[in-house]
Structure 1
Amino acid sequence: MSSPSIRPELPIILGVGGVSVDLLATVASFPNPDDKIRSTSMKVQGGGNAGNALTCAARLGLNARLMSKVANDAQGRGILEELEADGVDVSFFVVSEEGNSPFTYVIVDNQTKTRTCIHTPGFPPMCPDDLKNSNLLSALEGVNLAYFDVRLHETALVVAHEAKKKRMPILIDAERLRDGLDEFLCLADYVVCSKNLPQAWSKAPSVPSALVSMLLRLPKVKFVIVTLGENGCMMLERSMAEVSETTEINIDDLPELLKQNIDSGKTTPTCVSSDITRLQAKGIGSVSGRLFIGTAEKIPESELVDTTGAGDAFIGSILYGICTNMPPEQMLPFAAQVATISCRALGARTDLPHVSDPRLTPFLGQTPLITTTMGG
């Protein structure tokens, strides 16, 4: 496995987590039990949360390194070759001479525009003994940001703790409740969640109050983003500024107030935010910060093909935004744009854009696209 040349002027990110081969079949509608149906299209492509997110980040121009494990089989070799072709450094992969590489059957329903995934893990699984200390130190050398998708958790936690010792910022992809998630979250500087995770983890009664709970329970975290599919995203950013408690506002009231400032006629992603204020969640507590509401592009039904990997594309874009110091008002619409572009073709990586894509040009300026603020 060769290592792509490092572009010294660009940040280096290290990802640790899941890769797979995705076997994608599009069907007119999801089959009933015992049905026999034909696919309308078929694609075999690399997948996995970490594999997709790092591919996205590499196409956007970051130096991307990925640690994972495959077998020395046709699927494993295909995974590595595809990642290398996109400029991802796979020299820190573990390759087993026995077993199987991970793969996923993905059934894309043309009628409902949903996808169903059936995953077969790789074997033997990655374990801490697969990490030689010298290899780990080399993988972390010069890294600006580390990313973990909470898969391969025993091994990934070894890497995460070493990254934290070196004071590297860490982003955690909290897709669902998994073994090791609590320990990863305690190491995190940034967290991106799927829509159900904040409430599942915090037991809070609403998404906004769950974000407050997460910042209170995770004092090192700078921001938490929850992705909401076609409804965009919500982000709570911690502020270290002193805020008078007299300005305290109930966070559950804030989203609807902020949405009044969104131009309903605008189809491209945008973002609105509160001022820095004291945000209170009933029965939970309060934090100083800003709440952001990000919108998603309204994709015409005729253009929406497959949502597989849209969340990974969003996270890859957030990695880029952090590394290039994008303000949230710019980063959230940019990430939403990349994610919606990826939904216009079959497979998680087929239409992932490169940074030179003209569809991204309006989102890459030096100033935020739209900043609407309102006080509490």
Structure 2
Amino acid sequence: MGTQLPAVTVVGSINLDMIATTDRLPTAGETIGGGVLSQQPGGKGANQAVAAARLGGSSRMIGAVGNDAQGRLMLEALSSAGVDTADVAVLDGDATGTALIVVDRDGENQIVVCPGANSGFSLEGVSFGPDESVLCQLEVGLDVVLEAARKSSGFFVLNAAPAMDLPAELLERCDLVIVNETEYELIPALADAKLVAVTYGKNGSAMFEHGRKVAKAPAAAVTVANTIGAGDAFCAALVLALRLGLPYQRALAAANAVGADAVGDDASQPVLGRLEKYLA
């Protein structure tokens, strides 16, 4: 394997994660004391861009932050991880996006996202090369995701989270859709999509072509510290592995191993090894 993995450009959200860690998640109307508060860089888009860079890929982030201290912190975190931030807009009129997260002792979480600047950017002036894999999620406007799909001529991937109805044009453009099992059930149109990777937590992952399972890979048994960034690390790893030309089963296995590493880390942007570390 060469020293440089394929290029991944992530179009998506950049958030400050405000995390309260508690023994258990509160029920409706309940107040739980004894929490521990922390803050760290996050957002599904930024998490995926950082993971791609740490796995050894050439990673570029397209998104937006506010012209505030939180935005400067997010840009610094991306840059220090090796992500190209030249196309991250700094918007004067919006605050940097924020995610309010509660995590229990088993790593399960509840999340409320306040999009802020994530709702205010466009792809005007942004271009994509034919060798770039473009990876999007749904924490930014659907119009931005559709524009990215139209502008991209290379491998186009959608992490369809959070789940919502998807325009036929977008689904037809996707070379790969990545979802968890709940999202797969909530988006019936995925049963007809050309290629869908579905994650099942401790039960591993599988690949479907037009609704037919064509590959699967088991998950590794791990101690869970935080599940927030695991799916994002999985997405980045799967895109890189597939673009290297690995067969579906081996690519899924590598992405599962990366996700397992991620859940053992408290951070939304966990420390990861280079992708070759995870190739069985």
Give the TM-score normalised by structure 2: 0.89
**Does 2:39 align with 1:53?**
no
Question: 1:355 is matched with which residue: 269, 274, 280?
Answer: 274
**Does 2:208 align with 1:236?**
yes
CA-CA distance at 1:28 after TM superposition: 1.6
Question: Corresponding residue for 2:133?
Answer: 145
**Does 2:156 align with 1:170?**
yes
Tell me the distance in 2 between the aligned counterparts of 1:148 and 1:77: 23
| Bigger Rg over Cα | 1
Question: 2:61 is matched with which residue: 25, 47, 66?
Answer: 66
Question: Corresponding residue for 1:260?
Answer: none
CA-CA distance at 1:159 after TM superposition: 2.3
Tell me the distance in 2 between the aligned counterparts of 1:155 and 1:124: 10
Count of aligned residue pairs for this structure pair: 277
* Preserved CA contact (<8 Å) 1:154 1:180: no
Aligned CA distance change for structure 1 residues 34 and 304 (closer, same or farther; 3 Å): closer
Give ranges in structure 1 of 5+ residues lacking alignment. Answer: 1-6, 204-210, 216-220, 239-250, 252-278, 280-289, 370-376
* Preserved CA contact (<8 Å) 1:127 1:154: no
Tell me the distance in 1 between the aligned counterparts of 2:47 and 2:129: 22
Q: Which amino acid aligns with 2:221?
A: K
**Does 2:105 align with 1:114?**
no
Tell me the distance in 2 between the aligned counterparts of 1:8 and 1:153: 35
Tell me the distance in 1 between the aligned counterparts of 2:249 and 2:118: 43
Q: Secondary structure at the match of 1:38?
A: coil
Give the TM-score normalised by structure 1: 0.68
Tell me the distance in 2 between the aligned counterparts of 1:188 and 1:115: 29
**Does 2:262 align with 1:342?**
yes
Question: Corresponding residue for 1:293?
Answer: 216
Tell me the distance in 2 between the aligned counterparts of 1:77 and 1:182: 37
Kindly report which structure 2 residues correspond to 1:12-27, keeping only aligned pairs within 5 A, or say none. 12-27=7-22
Q: Secondary structure at the match of 1:68?
A: strand
Q: Which amino acid aligns with 1:293?
A: K
Could you report, residue by residue, the CA deviation over 1:162-215 in whole angstroms, capped at 9, with x for unpaired residues?
11xxx3110111124336554321210111112122332227xxxxxxx6x324
CA-CA distance at 1:98 after TM superposition: 2.2
* Preserved CA contact (<8 Å) 2:11 2:137: yes
Tell me the distance in 2 between the aligned counterparts of 1:103 and 1:67: 17
Q: Which amino acid aligns with 1:352?
A: V
Tell me the distance in 1 between the aligned counterparts of 2:242 and 2:146: 22
CA-CA distance at 1:126 after TM superposition: 2.3
Q: Which amino acid aligns with 2:14?
A: V
Could you report, residue by residue, the CA deviation over 1:222-252 in whole angstroms, capped at 9, with x for unpaired residues?
x2111111111121247xxxxxxxxxxxx8x
Tell me the distance in 1 between the aligned counterparts of 2:225 and 2:188: 34
Aligned CA distance change for structure 1 residues 83 and 226 (closer, same or farther; 3 Å): same
Question: Corresponding residue for 1:214?
Answer: 192
Question: Corresponding residue for 1:285?
Answer: none
Tell me the distance in 1 between the aligned counterparts of 2:215 and 2:188: 20
Tell me the distance in 1 between the aligned counterparts of 2:167 and 2:110: 24
**Does 2:91 align with 1:96?**
yes
* Preserved CA contact (<8 Å) 2:137 2:159: yes
Tell me the distance in 2 between the aligned counterparts of 1:143 and 1:17: 19
Q: Secondary structure at the match of 1:92?
A: strand
**Does 2:245 align with 1:322?**
no
* Preserved CA contact (<8 Å) 1:43 1:346: no
Q: Which amino acid aligns with 2:154?
A: M
Tell me the distance in 1 between the aligned counterparts of 2:249 and 2:167: 28
Q: Secondary structure at the match of 1:118?
A: strand
**Does 2:3 align with 1:83?**
no
Deviates more, 1:229-238 or 1:71-80: 229-238
Tell me the distance in 2 between the aligned counterparts of 1:12 and 1:293: 25
Tell me the distance in 1 between the aligned counterparts of 2:45 and 2:39: 17
Question: Corresponding residue for 1:156?
Answer: 145
Q: Secondary structure at the match of 1:105?
A: strand
Q: Which amino acid aligns with 1:125?
A: S
Aligned CA distance change for structure 1 residues 170 and 326 (closer, same or farther; 3 Å): same
Tell me the distance in 2 between the aligned counterparts of 1:35 and 1:198: 33
Aligned CA distance change for structure 1 residues 189 and 153 (closer, same or farther; 3 Å): same
Q: Secondary structure at the match of 2:48?
A: helix
Q: Secondary structure at the match of 1:93?
A: strand
Question: Corresponding residue for 1:271?
Answer: none
Question: Corresponding residue for 1:258?
Answer: none
